[in-house]
Structure 1
């Protein structure tokens, strides 16, 4: 498929809402190509560079320097625990296999929609469960650890952050009533940026006993523990060894301190993992100013009974199993800075936010 026919075909897709609706869920690339007047679709999506954002239905997939790549979702809801998984699934749609849409950053829509709630977390402490419970409300959209949000955070620009969120919030005919951001754990260090961008949006920070989180990272370290993926400087740390439990502890302490430093700015609520999932109903939803309909609460409780990371499995408490794996190195690493941050989080958790 040459570029000229692909541009003409994409133009038809943009100008014909009925055609977009007909091809919205099409996975057969041949059938989609035929409908668009393309005789021989190639195996690689053709680059489509626009000066304006594509219509609602396309969501930001990634931001790289001054370019935004977009992925077609149509009216698909966002209900997975991670936006990266949503992108993989959407990648099977024929529209995304035919066209790779890019725009300059300047094409992002102006920010006007503030999220209804922000979910920060220590990592490995129930935030995925919280995100999935929020997403059980089919009138809600939950953006979970999305690269475009991270890219905006790294710039430190509240205007860009608002624009990226606005791009996710454009009306698509699904999940338009409420919008939540579940953020990467290191984003807690950027709480002042989020408060500047969305001063009236309430936020929560979930945390867990440090030894249990440390065991989880000893089993399989998260990206925040790898300086080549999440630079140590973002966390206010010197370069560290991604296999060193003391570096893991320093990362977790830095993440927790981000929430503690942001506490004074207001709007926050601290949630201990041991209080989940009931705290979502008794504390998180009231904090976000939301009252649940009976059917939504039932859907959220159903989600709470499922393994948040492996939705096909029933949830099984794992705190005891993790405590059996605590090593002397983990115990030593948790002392000092991390223990102090955790103790302060527990103390502030007892404060009732008006």
Structure 2
């Protein structure tokens, strides 16, 4: 990659007036360690705005041309999850190591995976080209010491598994789950966008919106979770050799060792274990197990879907 483009990555891909554009972010020497990539964007954009009032934008052709010149890592593992299940704590633990590239829910990956919502004429092969360009640029060697590259996707990307697995047949996929009552209680307190009806196109969840969804967001979220659990059950049944599963009920402190064992690496990083003792989104706040959720968050159909998945998981690990 040419020296003048080193540390630059795409952070947003948009569609306006029938044309796609790519917005670029200068990371500088910043080590990505924020709980969510949105926070990294805000931090680095503020520095860019202090330097210049102009933004950096290109077309998709430039994206692929730059990616062709990048020396980037292959992803070490993808992390999938049902949300509010320990995935952020895991990615935060991984980001402690300065030699790890950890990309946590970068919006730009979602922009590409869902491009056909805005431009139905795009083929899967074209989307693959753009996705792989992102992978290379996000995983570019910046310090020369990088040894692992972890990507945590958004929860709804569980439904993109067939396509992503076809693209990355040898890459470990790590799936995190949790019982629905606790997930629903967390979203009731502070909602993720997939727990708000209509924020994400319902077709992605194989749902049709009804008045009840808008009257009761918890009911809507429970139906979204059913789709997640059904997908996890199907993926677990594949017995694919590079798919690994971990449930929140097994304990957060045991998760890092299980994760590294799953991807074939030794886990011996005391600083990482130190991070696991603190809140996933607030690194200075000690981690505390959440109280048992209020019974009002219990939806029998969601619990049943979770148990059908978890029973198989308990048997096969």
Instruction: Give the TM-score normalised by the residue count of structure 2.
Output: 0.84
Matched, 1:105 2:69: no
CA contact (8 A) 1:158 1:193 kept: no
- Cα drift, residue 190 of structure 1: 0.4
User: Which ranges of 4 or more aligned residues in structure 1 deviate by more than 6 Å?
Assistant: none
1:96–1:56 distance in 2 versus 1, CA, 3 Å? farther
Matched, 1:208 2:168: no
- Cα drift, residue 175 of structure 1: 6.3
CA RMSD of aligned residues (A): 2.3
Matches within 5 A, 1:27-106: 55-65=5-15, 66-94=20-48, 97-98=51-52, 99-106=54-61
Partners in 2 of 1:161 and 1:352 — Cα distance?
A: 32
- Cα drift, residue 126 of structure 1: 0.7
1:171 corresponds to: 141
- Cα drift, residue 265 of structure 1: 6.8
CA contact (8 A) 1:153 1:193 kept: no
Cα deviations across residues 264-319 of structure 1 (Å, max 9, x unaligned)? 27221121112232332332111112213x4xx20111100111122221111113
Matched, 1:124 2:67: no
2:287 corresponds to: 315
Counterpart secondary structure, 1:196? helix
Partners in 2 of 1:278 and 1:350 — Cα distance?
A: 19
1:289 corresponds to: 264
Cα deviations across residues 226-284 of structure 1 (Å, max 9, x unaligned)? 24421111111112535432211111111222333333272211211122323323321
Instruction: Give the TM-score normalised by the residue count of structure 1.
Output: 0.76
1:7 corresponds to: none
- Cα drift, residue 94 of structure 1: 4.0
1:273 corresponds to: 248
Matches within 5 A, 1:123-202: 123-155=83-115, 157-173=127-143, 176-202=146-172
1:94–1:215 distance in 2 versus 1, CA, 3 Å? closer
Partners in 2 of 1:193 and 1:279 — Cα distance?
A: 30
Rg larger in 1 or in 2? 1
CA contact (8 A) 1:270 1:345 kept: no
Matched, 1:249 2:222: yes
Q: Number of aligned pairs? A: 292
Matched, 1:335 2:290: no
